[in-house]
Structure 1
């Protein structure tokens, strides 16, 4: 493969320049949106150093039936305990989930009884529309586009399972996880689903390498963007049809650690989590992990979609007029496995537990304060830190004074990044990373 720009910011500037020169194509984005981005970037002088490139325009098996049967059984079981959110298949008990529109957030305290992996029963759900019902034997993945040597190539469910498999343990986290704290903690207005910290889950994912699939389909050296697309319904926002969820990946990431997952925690993917096949893009924002994967366009010209133009960029006073580069890696966060507003007893020893994670590097250490930040001490890490994963931690606490106590957890990762006191505001509330104030009552 040819070298890829070292940062998403550089790659994004190259995309804009190529689009302006007629060498890049919009994958369902209005011209006025791209012109706005281009005009703002040009005014800021961020395109002048970027040159153009030479991109050119341009029968069911037993395994599949068993996977479908497993998924259908899970769906039938869920039907006996209806969910409380439109379009979500699995049960959503109120002690485990908070329903937010078409989404379901995991109540973080419910993870206290789970291990390092998040069971499917506790895994959050982020749906742009509704969960589709797809049979494995009817499913196929089409790989196509100008970045291939030949015509489109189809892979069936069993074709994919016949390829060498890999297993990765990785978190999937919505880019808006923690969004509500911009408002409740920093008194700043944002748009989007008001997640607290439960829009994350860690799974053990098994599947085929995306790189293997792309090479078998005839990937060429000219490919510059890989655009996966889901099979869920078109997304309509404010009366505008944005099409199906899709977001380009640079080849460097696509050929690195991305997999086409067909198992989650040793079982076929549940319907709400992408059955039959989904993308797992370790450490990157959740929207990159396309569920219900249906096709992948491999392009020799840069591509744009709504999910890397008006959505999943940072806009606001701290950012350029055209917004930041499209979001990639997740931020650094910590959360207590304790109900907010919980009542604890003065003078009685309690073990506080929680989890910390980072998309940039493994978590190195976690500090805890039980007095609103006046004093800090290190928590005990219960897991070996690993990339794209969280660490569980614990600390002892004997509350002394009655009244409201403010608990704080602050992580530092191996890249030297530490959670700040205040997150930099952006209008859509992405990537909140500040230390969260967790209030409890001591009686």
Structure 2
């Protein structure tokens, strides 16, 4: 294992002090600043407090303040960039709020067997916050882009233009850049400067970040410094910047078998991650839209439970990225039998739903699991496949083991062992 990079230890300690509901997650190479929800109880509530929301980034938090921060806007082939002060964006353009379940694409990486490298997340790298900020559509229009020329259908991206976001944590050696379809950016994305009614915390991207509702967290670039509208995704050499700048789009955050190097491409026919897994048109899928997933928040498994009037309330959350959750089932026998749970509470596109189930257990030890199904009828698989299965594992009902450990949504690795005591 390499030595912890300079400044990382101090940064993690400071974040843990500010966020008492989180704990540090194991990072095999000590390259990232990572903390996640410390208790499963986080997943029993719809809104995730800032104090419990996960954090993940590679480079040190850049310095800067909202008054002096600017964002460069550039259009492919249309001359010099336009510089917009963040203060003018906040003061002069509309402010909206969006609910977004942000999940690290590596959530569940630590459940792969054999282990993949990097951050060994269990299920703690997900949370739902209400983000306030300025619609990307308004920002691009203020910079001079005729948004009426953009593709208008956020569900298909054939022939779409792309929006590339660049973070200020970029270095001379490496640019942190991510591209999303322009139609998605115009549909529901914002430049966020607030979180849960408070100013955006430093570790969450202060003073401004891109928020892409329903998509994996890597797409929501923190410490946003530049937006470029282009004809394709970022590829090496396409940004005219020093160092490398396509790694985080084209190499990492791709789903591929062990020992495979993904080919760089400039577009995909769909941004739905599961559709890419099932489609021969995308050989090594990109992690954009979140896959269907659920987690039980209570009981937590941290202590025995005693039924009240014969039952125990099982509560949790379920999400499916851009898609709606159609239903959730609960099992107390490791998936042998299933029982329908009830969806309730807020129902916003891009954010998780709460579910409850009145469980009537006998005394003893039980394994509780939840399984969500999205509006297309796609359900969580039971397990993660093996490296030998490759991406073909999806055809046999398993989530494919992949070298980056991305997008895992199997339900058995997230099951909880519950001890039930006799009713007093």
Instruction: Quote the Cα distance in structure 2 between the aligned partners of 1:338 and 1:145.
Output: 48
**1:360–1:299 Cα change, 3 Å:** closer
2:226 is aligned, of 289, 295, 304, to: 295
- 2:350 corresponds to 1:420: no
Per the TM alignment, residue 167 of structure 1 is displaced from its structure 2 partner at its CA by: 1.7
Instruction: Quote the Cα distance in structure 2 between the aligned partners of 1:90 and 1:143.
Output: 36
Instruction: Quote the Cα distance in structure 2 between the aligned partners of 1:321 and 1:136.
Output: 38
Cα deviation code 1:11-54 (max 9, x no counterpart)? xxxxxxxxxxxxxxxxxxxxxxxxxxxxxxxxxxxxxxxxxxxx
Cα deviation code 1:207-261 (max 9, x no counterpart)? 1121222233233669933211111253xxxxxx862321112222222211111
Q: In structure 1, what is the equivalent of residue 294 of structure 2?
A: 334
Per the TM alignment, residue 156 of structure 1 is displaced from its structure 2 partner at its CA by: 1.3
Q: In structure 2, what is the equivalent of residue 309 of structure 1?
A: 250
Give the SS at the match of 1:248.
strand
- 2:92 corresponds to 1:157: no
- 2:178 corresponds to 1:247: yes
Give the SS at the match of 2:335.
coil
Matches within 5 A, 1:161-176: 161=90, 162-176=92-106
Matches within 5 A, 1:129-208: 129-148=59-78, 150-161=79-90, 162-183=92-113, 188-208=114-134
Give the SS at the match of 1:164.
coil
**1:281–1:90 Cα change, 3 Å:** farther
Instruction: Quote the Cα distance in structure 2 between the aligned partners of 1:110 and 1:350.
Output: 15
Larger mean CA deviation between 388-397 and 336-345 belongs to: 336-345
Contact 1:84 1:99 in 2 (8 A): no
Cα deviation code 1:48-78 (max 9, x no counterpart)? xxxxxxxxxxxxxxxxxxxxxxxxxxxxxxx
Contact 2:102 2:127 in 1 (8 A): yes
Contact 1:229 1:247 in 2 (8 A): yes
Q: In structure 1, what is the equivalent of residue 405 of structure 2?
A: 429
Per the TM alignment, residue 116 of structure 1 is displaced from its structure 2 partner at its CA by: 1.8
Cα deviation code 1:169-190 (max 9, x no counterpart)? 111111011222223xxxx332
Q: In structure 2, what is the equivalent of residue 266 of structure 1?
A: 197
**1:412–1:301 Cα change, 3 Å:** closer
2:339 is aligned, of 374, 377, 396, to: 377
- 2:165 corresponds to 1:228: yes
Instruction: Quote the Cα distance in structure 1 between the aligned partners of 2:115 and 2:16.
Output: 32
**1:335–1:319 Cα change, 3 Å:** farther
Larger mean CA deviation between 340-349 and 278-287 belongs to: 340-349
Give the SS at the match of 2:129.
strand
CA RMSD of aligned residues (A): 2.8
Larger mean CA deviation between 284-293 and 416-425 belongs to: 416-425
Instruction: Quote the Cα distance in structure 2 between the aligned partners of 1:233 and 1:307.
Output: 11
- 2:184 corresponds to 1:257: no
Contact 2:164 2:233 in 1 (8 A): no
Instruction: Quote the Cα distance in structure 2 between the aligned partners of 1:167 and 1:362.
Output: 19
Give the SS at the match of 2:336.
coil
Give the SS at the match of 2:84.
strand
Give the SS at the match of 2:62.
coil
Larger mean CA deviation between 127-136 and 262-271 belongs to: 127-136
Give the SS at the match of 1:219.
coil
Instruction: Quote the Cα distance in structure 2 between the aligned partners of 1:345 and 1:202.
Output: 27
Cα deviation code 1:300-351 (max 9, x no counterpart)? 5652211121111111179996451322111111111147653324666422
Larger mean CA deviation between 82-91 and 199-208 belongs to: 82-91
Instruction: Quote the Cα distance in structure 2 between the aligned partners of 1:277 and 1:409.
Output: 35
Q: How many residues get paired?
A: 348
Gaps of at least 5 residues in structure 2 are: 1-8, 28-32, 151-159, 236-245, 264-282, 384-398
**1:321–1:292 Cα change, 3 Å:** closer
**1:350–1:160 Cα change, 3 Å:** same
Q: In structure 2, what is the equivalent of residue 325 of structure 1?
A: 285
Instruction: Quote the Cα distance in structure 1 between the aligned partners of 2:291 and 2:125.
Output: 13
